[in-house]
Structure 1
Amino acid sequence: MIKGLIFDKDGTLFDFNATWGVFTRRLLVSEAAGDATRLDRLATVLGYDLSMNRFRPGSLVIAEPIDVVARAVLSVTGPGDLGALIARMNAFSADVPQQPATDLAPLMARLRAMGQTLGVVTNDAEDPAMRHLEDAGILDEMAFVAGYDSGHGAKPSAAPLLAFCKATGLRPMDCAMIGDSPHDLTAGRAAGMTCVGVLTGPASRDDLSPLADIVLDSVADLPIWLARLI
């Protein structure tokens, strides 16, 4: 029986392109510093469609931690201060208004009422992740929150998911990993958890199905799915 739910953040709790599409263009324009060729190269290396202000499926921004994204940016802009770029990106991230995939506060309250222990494991940094969850009114519902910089590693490693189990006392087999990317589900598989894909990120059902036990339209469908397992 599922007793613990671990959520990815971007693309799972929050709609990925609705949240990050336009704001990422602003960041790329800033880093390109008026150079149109550099802007095109930045968009290409990050898997971003400038004409649509959307990320393409498979974009490294979808699943990789911010240090990997920052190194990709520097591969285009030239040698620079990695730490300073990460700081700019984290500041940018923290201020981006998140677009929830559904009405999250009542959903999390419902899941808690169903006896679920909740947590978030994201490849975003911990500080902006905590701010996003607080702004959405769901931080207090979480028994565990980890970013890539929380000391547990980053997905697709199973380590941060197993850290959730250690913190809550739950067995991996009694937990589900919910995410919008293959990285999320690969981590869930490695941890020995049930894997739930959601379609509120750029990945398609075909992308997620090989790694998922089930693919839902969004996290809003979780209560119905859980009820069917009883």
Structure 2
Amino acid sequence: MGSDREPVRVVIVDDEQLVRMALRLVIGSEPDLTVVGEAADGDAAITVVDEQRPDVVLMDVRMPGRDGLSATRELLARPVPPRVLMLTTFDSDDLVLSALRVGALGFVLKDTHPAQILAAVRNVANGSPALSPTAMERVIAAATGPQSSHTRDSTRAAARQRLSVLTERELETARAIADGLGNPEIAQRLHIRVATVKAHTGSLFAKLAVENRVQIALLVRDAEE
């Protein structure tokens, strides 16, 4: 995906035409990226993605009609889903957090510097999360913010049930991922080889039915809340 010979194919979804135009100009100016479609709402996004088969979808969270969260959930249920990068103004932390839970790989603010948007698109195209430290702080704050005791207990119980299928080493790996460590750092913390970390991570993906490391991190935080 996104090799030198084949640019990363991007679809832009936002209800504001000016935002779509700006993103198209920024992304389309890069030789390794190409915009293959646009949509103004979630329903149109589904249609464009089915037609164009992009590598990455830049998805607005809030739009008239079908919102970005609903569209993201449907897209990521596809047999071969695109990778989704959410667009937000940060007045919608809860929706973004929900999108990360269903498999979006990250999110960027609409007023983010163009260079950072391009870096985020490339990271997501490569299967890596695109969450700045500031953005991650906001996500953690949303995930650990005030909840009713019933909701908090239910969320914790469900997360612990899912994690209960893991071996002790897999659970240690999951906790290290939640701490934001990369494979080399995890290997150093657990005194194991990087290849072993990769094997444990593969098991986490399979056993927890997740698509990326962000989902693992959120699940661990839910369990330890």
TM-score (norm 2): 0.33
Task: Using CA pairs under 8 Å that are at least 6 residues apart, name the structure with larger relative contact order, 1 or 2.
Answer: 1
TM, length-normalised to structure 1: 0.32
